[in-house]
Amino acid sequence: MADLSHHTRDVRRGAAFGEGDARDAIRTGLGFAVAGLLFLFVADVWIGTCTGSLTQAAGCGVPQKAMLALGSPAILLVGGVWSLARSFRVRHGQAAWWAWQGAGWALLALTVLCAVLSLPSLPGR
C-alpha cells in the first residue's frame, strides 16, 4: 500500500540532492520578500495619510513613524540572516546549500534597497 501521509522530510534527508530543500529555500526567500515589500507598501500608505491633525496623533507620532519606516528592512534582514544561517547548517557537499545562499543574499540586497526607500519616512527628515 502506498504511503499517502506526505511525510517527505524523512525521505529527503538521505537523498543525495535535496530538490525539496531548494524548493524550501525559494519558498522561504519569496515569503520573506513578499512580507517585507507588503509591509513597505502598507507603511508608505499609512505615513501618506498623516496630515498633522490632532485626531491622527495616536497613529502618526514619531515612534510610530520610526517603526513603520524600519519594519520592512527588519523583516528582510531577519529573513536574510535566517537563510544564510540555514545555508551554513547544510553541508556544502549536500542538498541545496546554494539555494539558501542565494535566498539569503537576495534578501540582504532587498534589505538595503528597502532601507534606502524608507529613509525619507523617518521622523526628523
What are the residue boundaries of the structural domains of the chain, listed by start?
A: 20-121
Give residue-wise pLDDT tens across range 10-50.
544 544 445 677 888 999 999 999 999 999 999 888 887 87
- Biggest CA–CA distance in the chain, Å, is 68
DSSP string, 52-121: --GGGTTTSSHHHHHHHHHHHHHHHHHHHHHHHHHHHHS-TTSTTHHHHHHHHHHHHHHHHHHHHHHGGG
Residue 59's Cβ-side half-sphere holds a number of Cα atoms within 13 Å equal to 11
Whether this prediction's pTM lies above 0.85 is answered by no
- What is residue 124's DSSP assignment? T
